[in-house]
Structure 1
Amino acid sequence: MLYDKAGMTTLVADLRQFHSDLVAIAGDGTSKVDTSSDLGQAVERLKKAWSDPNSGAENGALEAVVAAKGDWDNAYADKCLSTLDAVAHAVESALSNALAADAKVGNSFM
């Protein structure tokens, strides 16, 4: 059977790394403001900049940013991260199935 085991293995590793990189930059999409990610930290900096230092009251612009970030997180987690994970899983499964089929065919000649 013609397939590129090394290429498929590299593809899976790359997809997993892309997933990790996206989570580091934008969070995992499960919390309203994930301060462990770069994007979450940016929202926190906006919160500090756009809040009254005396009362802590937030202005309307910040509320809009947090709402937009929440909408983005939902779409990002549902579509981007889950799709990337599903593709990596599908490639892993395809490689595993191909190796199993090769082994069965190889064993039939013994």
Structure 2
Amino acid sequence: MNNLQRLQLETKGIDLEQNELMVYLAENGLDAHSEYNPQSMTDKKAIYSTALSMLESVANNPTLMKAVKIDDMTVSEFHENLMKRIDQLTFKVRAMRTENSNTDVFMLYV
């Protein structure tokens, strides 16, 4: 599995063009076609950071926030759930260790 496939696995349901996904991966220090190493905490953290960037872009897209009701879920619920997921990923990324970090301290308040 390469990094692009791993990112698509993490962000199922978000349909972006492959070129856009490759830009997000490059911004987080990953090559889209390199082999994903699940034992590497650095790679894992970069994938989660990339997913976070993608979700923030979706949250910033006003056309997705128009008044639509799908299967008993309104857009406001979609936005609330999206923001909760962004908060979860933000906390997860900040709490993750990498091979380069040698401390258990992370910033709780930003």
Bigger Rg over Cα:
1
TM-score (norm 1): 0.39
Higher RCO (Cα < 8 Å, 6 or more apart) = 1
Task: Give the TM-score taking structure 2 as reference length.
Answer: 0.39
